[in-house]
Structure 1
Amino acid sequence: MSKLDSSMRCHAPVPLAASHDRNARRTLWVVILTAVMMVGEIVAGYITGSMALLADGFHMATHAGALGVTAAAYAYAKHHAESGRYSFGTGKVGDLAGFTSALILGLVAIGIGVESVVRLVHPEKVDFGDATFVAVLGLIVNIVSAILLSGDHNHGPGGDHGHAHADHDHDHAQAHGHAHHGHHHAHGHDNNMRSAYIHVLADALTSVLAIGALLAGRYLGWVWLDPAMGVVGALVIAHWSHGLLRDTAGILLDRSDAQLAGRLSAAIEGAGDVTITDLHVWPIGAGCHAAIVTVASTPILSAEVIRTRAVGIKGIRHLTIECAGPA
Structure 2
Amino acid sequence: MGAGHDHSGAVTNAAHRHRGRLWAAFALLAVLMVVEAVAAFTTGSLALLSDAGHMFTDVLGIGMALAAITATRRAGTDPQRTFGLYRLEVLAALANAVLLAAVAVYVLVEAVRRFGEPPEVLAGPMLVVAVLGLLANIVAFALLRAGSQESINLRGAYLEVLGDLLGSLGVIAAALVIAVTDWWWADPLVAVGIGLFILPRTWRLGRAAVRILVQAAPEHLQVTAVLDRLAAVPGVAEVHDLHVWTLTSGMEVASAHLTTDPGVDPGAVLAAARAALHEDFSIDHATLQVEPGASAGVCGPTEW
Give TM-score, length-normalised by structure 2: 0.81
Residue deviations 1:241-289 (CA, integer Å, cap 9, x gap): 1111011111122112372533331222125851223211111233222
Question: Comparing both structures, which one devotes a greater share of its residues to helix?
Answer: 2
What are the superposed Cα offsets for residues 192-220 of structure 1, whole Å, 9 maximum, x if unpaired? 11111112112112111121122123224
Residue number among 280, 286, 297 corresponding to 2:249 in the alignment: 286
- Seen in structure 2, the aligned counterparts of structure 1 residues 104 and 16 have a Cα distance that, compared at 3 Å, is farther
Residue in structure 1 matched with residue 108 of structure 2 by the alignment: 113
Return the offset for 1:71: 1.6
Contact 1:45 1:52 (8 Å CA) reproduced: yes
Q: Residue 136 of structure 1: CA displacement? A: 1.2
Shift of 1:141: 1.1
Structure 1 SS opposite 2:284:
strand
Query: When the two structures are superposed, what TM-score results if normalisation uses the length of structure 1?
Result: 0.76
* Aligned pair partner of 1:257 in 218, 223, 226: 218
How many residue pairs were aligned? 286
Gapped regions of structure 1 (runs ≥ 5): 160-188
**Cα distance, 1:306 vs structure 2:** 3.1
Provide Cα deviations, 1:141-174, integer angstroms capped at 9, x if missing partner: 1111112222x2x51xxx3xxxxxxxxxxxxxxx
Deviates more, 1:128-137 or 1:236-245: 128-137
Segments of structure 2 that go 5 or more residues without pairing to the other structure are 298-304
Determine the C-alpha separation between the residues in 2 that align with 1:12 and 1:245.
Answer: 24
Alpha-carbon contact 1:263-1:313 (below 8 Å) kept: no
For residue 292 of structure 1, give the secondary structure of its aligned residue in structure 2. Answer: strand
Q: Give the secondary-structure state (helix, strand or coil) at the position aligned to 1:312.
A: helix
Residue identity opposite 1:275 in structure 2:
E
From 148, 153, 163, the equivalent of 2:143 is 148
Match of residue 199 from structure 2: 238
Alpha-carbon spacing, 1:117–1:312, altered in 2? closer, same or farther (3 Å): same
Deviations along 1:8-65, one digit per CA (max 9) or x if unpaired, are 998363534464334111111111112222334456678xx44449946565434322
Counterparts in 2 of 1:184-199, with a 5 A limit?
189-199=150-160
Shift of 1:114: 1.3
- Given candidates 281, 285, 289, the residue that maps to 1:318 is 285
Q: Is the 8 A contact 1:73 1:97 kept in 2?
A: yes
CA 1:199–1:120 in 2, change beyond 3 Å: closer, same or farther? same
- Equivalent residue of 1:86, what SS? coil
Q: 1:17 and 1:126 mapped to 2: Cα distance?
A: 49
Contact 2:4 / 2:287 at 8 angstroms: preserved in 1? no
Distance 1:261 1:14, change over 3 A: farther
Identity %: 28
Superposed structure 1 runs of 4+ greater than 6 Å apart: none
Match of 2:87 in 1: 92
What code does the residue aligned with 1:267 have? Answer: R
**1:41, 1:57 within 8 Å by CA — same for their partners in 2?**
yes
Measured on the aligned residues, the alpha-carbon RMSD in Å equals 3.0
* Partner residue in 1 for 2:231: 269
